Copies of this chain bind each other. A is one copy, B any other.
């Protein structure tokens, strides 16, 4: 299978469709069924004590899975998140980027499923895991 979008195209899509958050995220690598996305941690992602907030990790997992799906189906499609289950397992390290590694487990006509591991950059043990389901709209005729 050939991907319909590469990392550059995904960055351009993010900047166009989500200008208020696109600078937060960077696609570090993209393969057929896997993507690595980095969250550049900024003050607004932090909780007191310097820990990255839960909603910021949720957003990172969501963006990573979303971009991986768009790479397959193209930017024309308005996939929407229908379900996410996330486990927060360890405290994130302070002052470093967070890395999401997402895998595509299913890409059906109507639903796509990914799972994601989130790390503090440079740490071996994952900080969080998530799985996400997206509804894919029918292709326009």
Contacts and interface: CB of A to CB of B under 8 A. Distances in A.
Interface of A: 17-18, 20, 43-44, 47-48, 53-56, 58-59, 62, 80-90, 105-106, 108, 110-111, 113, 115, 117, 125-126, 129, 131, 133, 135
B84 A85 contact: yes
A131 B108 CA distance: 21
Given A20-B43, A55-B55, A89-B113, 5 more contacts: A83-B85, A83-B88, A85-B131, A87-B113, A110-B135
B55 A56 contact: yes
A126 B89 CA distance: 25
Contacts of A135: 110-111
